[in-house]
Chain A
Amino acid sequence: MPVRTPHFPDLLFGSAARLRRWEGALMALLAAHGYRELHPSLVLRGAVPEGGLRFFDGDDLVALRWDFTVALAGLLARGFPAPPDRVAYAGAVFRRPVQPWEAVERFEVGCERIQPEGEATNEADVELARLLMAIPGALGLKSAILHLGNAALVRRPLEAEGIFGELADAVVAALSRRAPHRVREALDGHPSAARLAAHAEALLSELDGPRTLDALASSPYAELLAGEREHMDRALQALLPILPPNLELRVDLADVAGLGFYTGPTLRLWAPGAQQELAAGGRYDRLFPDLGRPWQAAGFCVRLSRLLDLADTRPDLFEQPQ
């Protein structure tokens, strides 16, 4: 059995100052683009997922805030007949980690773009990508890589083939490992095995710039995914001309992380040499309808705890502060 010692980091002088500086810089950047801060309570009541830090408040089982997006969604769905279109947040979340070296208490800054159902989402998605492109500069990262993906590239073919539940999970797990041979193993004997295996090969064939989208042409689901391809192409056309010199843009067709949550475009920020993504987000249009609100939303979260670790272990990746 793995032994996991809960890791609650104490931030000393330099790290504490860096956290304060980064939170300030990122919230100022978001405020300048019209994102208004909301600060959901640190204590959440209601259903708590596995991994949340729970405790009894008298007879009530409550939990520390484990996710800003979920906390904000509850707050907005309860308190707003129409949502504010742009919100931002900063603070800590508490969650038992999947990887043993991750802290239980994690510092995050993020934002959400919320719209009524039915409104066009292209501009909102590009707005979020542009904001994320400005994050490395605000943090003093010398260089970074932005991965563009789309959860629908996997979700829609699986739904079209009637694959759900454990089998869908096995295919997604294989794609997450970037293992086409595992996709074939998982689908062995299924009528759609050959089509989905060919699709997996197409998704995994490249991890590069805009030409990566051409790989979709060889997929048996090229027609089904024509809308997603056009959406990604338009986003690239909008983003490439304004790409800062220290940022690389890559298309990652096989990004399946968070597939149960994301419904459309996804964004992930990496730094060369970093072992974990530094920011992540995307479109999650099912969140508010599940809470009874006809709203669609997208957003991203900057993982400041990982950035603090990176600044300690790889200071060469950051500009020296003035």
Chain B
Amino acid sequence: MTQPPILIAFPKGRLGDELVPRLAGTPLALDAAALKSRVLRIPTATPGVAALLLKGADLPRYVAAGVASLGIGGSDTLDEMDVDLLELADLGFGACRLSLCALAGVTLAALRAKPHLRLATKFPKATEAWLAREGLTAELVPLSSSAELAPLLGLADAIVDLVQTGGTLRAHGLVETAVLGRSSARLVAARGAYLSEPGRIRPLADLLLDALKAKA
């Protein structure tokens, strides 16, 4: 029986925008024509290796289930989902902060003093952990996108969200009031694939690391 192709899960969105140019010209470069189409499974320059383009929040599940043997995802999502996979390297790029952000002029002390604090976030687990460390309680408003609107429209007093350059915050009149943690892109692997076929998966992981280092 011929070996099935190895699938690598690549993120769409912000991390993907940084990743794809870094892979250009390497053995794992994505097929340019396929990238322009709506196809989500794309051949790479290495025969027998294909890429899956996935939303960041779905990517860890594909890897943990062994559908994709390797993947690249943000550590913020990995921490939030806490799925069983291996994290072989911190790739360094895609660095951003997970921050508490509020309307300009609203301080951390003011938020602490609120008898009923409402925080909107895509990251409830990290937010709960920070609240516990700070000895605070809050009502969490779960959102999946555009969290910046929540304080503007009164849905929440503040948000916990990823901040890279701060441009989106400034555009909405928000400022960072506390940094909860830091995030960057990580190379992840399916536990089963890595431990049962290291001779097949580890060289590919090294190839991916070399390709990204060369472009760093």
Chain A: residues with CB nearer than 8 A to chain B? 98-99, 101, 145, 147, 177-179, 181-182, 207, 250, 252, 268, 270-277, 316
Contact of B196 among A101, A178, A273 (CB under 8 A): A273
Q: Contacts of A276 on B, CB cut-off 8 Å?
A: 192
Is B196 a contact partner of A272 (Cβ separation < 8 A)? yes
Is B87 a contact partner of A178 (Cβ separation < 8 A)? yes
Is B65 a contact partner of A275 (Cβ separation < 8 A)? yes
Contact code string B82-122 (vs A, CB < 8 Å = 1, else 0): 00111111100000000000000000000000000000000
Contact code string B170-191 (vs A, CB < 8 Å = 1, else 0): 0000000000000000100111
Bound together, the chains give a CA A181 to CA B202 distance in angstroms of 18
Distance between A169 CB and nearest chain B CB, rounded to angstroms: 13
Interface majority SS (helix, strand, loop, mixed), chain B: mixed
Q: Which chain B residues (119-165) contact chain A, with CB distance < 8 Å?
A: none
Is B85 a contact partner of A177 (Cβ separation < 8 A)? yes
Distance between A170 CB and nearest chain B CB, rounded to angstroms: 12
Q: Contacts of A272 on B, CB cut-off 8 Å?
A: 196-197
Q: Contacts of B186 on A, CB cut-off 8 Å?
A: 179
Bound together, the chains give a CA A268 to CA B196 distance in angstroms of 11
Bound together, the chains give a CA A37 to CA B40 distance in angstroms of 52
A181-B89, A181-B90 are contacts. A273–B197 as well, Cβ < 8 Å?
yes
Residue among B66, B191, B194, B202 having the largest count of chain A Cβ atoms under 10 Å: B191
State whether the Cβ of B193 lies closer than 8 Å to any Cβ in chain A.
Answer: yes
Is A207 a contact partner of B198 (Cβ separation < 8 A)? yes
Contact of B195 among A177, A182, A270, A316 (CB under 8 A): A270
Contact code string B23-42 (vs A, CB < 8 Å = 1, else 0): 00000000000000000000
A178-B88, A179-B86 are contacts. A271–B65 as well, Cβ < 8 Å?
no
Q: Contacts of B90 on A, CB cut-off 8 Å?
A: 179, 181
Contact of A177 among B86, B192, B193, B197 (CB under 8 A): B86
Distance between B77 CB and nearest chain A CB, rounded to angstroms: 14
Contact of A178 among B65, B86, B193 (CB under 8 A): B86
Q: Contacts of B189 on A, CB cut-off 8 Å?
A: 178
Is B89 a contact partner of A145 (Cβ separation < 8 A)? no
State whether the Cβ of B1 lies closer than 8 Å to any Cβ in chain A.
Answer: yes
Bound together, the chains give a CA A101 to CA B1 distance in angstroms of 26
A181-B89, A270-B196, A316-B1 are contacts. A275–B84 as well, Cβ < 8 Å?
no
Distance between A256 CB and nearest chain B CB, rounded to angstroms: 12
Q: Contacts of A268 on B, CB cut-off 8 Å?
A: 195
Is A271 a contact partner of B196 (Cβ separation < 8 A)? yes
Distance between A258 CB and nearest chain B CB, rounded to angstroms: 13
Is B88 a contact partner of A145 (Cβ separation < 8 A)? no
List 8 additional A-B contacts (Cβ < 8 Å) besides A178-B87, A275-B191, A275-B192. A147-B195, A178-B88, A179-B87, A179-B88, A207-B198, A270-B195, A273-B197, A316-B1
21 residue pairs of the A-B complex, CB under 8 angstroms, read A99-B64, A145-B195, A177-B85, A178-B194, A179-B87, A179-B88, A179-B90, A181-B87, A181-B89, A181-B90, A182-B87, A207-B195, A207-B202, A270-B192, A270-B195, A272-B197, A273-B196, A274-B196, A275-B192, A275-B196, A276-B192
A275-B65, A275-B66, A316-B1 are contacts. A145–B87 as well, Cβ < 8 Å?
no
Is B65 a contact partner of A101 (Cβ separation < 8 A)? yes
Is B86 a contact partner of A98 (Cβ separation < 8 A)? no
Q: Contacts of B1 on A, CB cut-off 8 Å?
A: 316
Closest B residue, CB atoms, query A98 = B84
Bound together, the chains give a CA A99 to CA B63 distance in angstroms of 13
Bound together, the chains give a CA A275 to CA B202 distance in angstroms of 15
Contact code string B188-215 (vs A, CB < 8 Å = 1, else 0): 0111111111100010000000000000
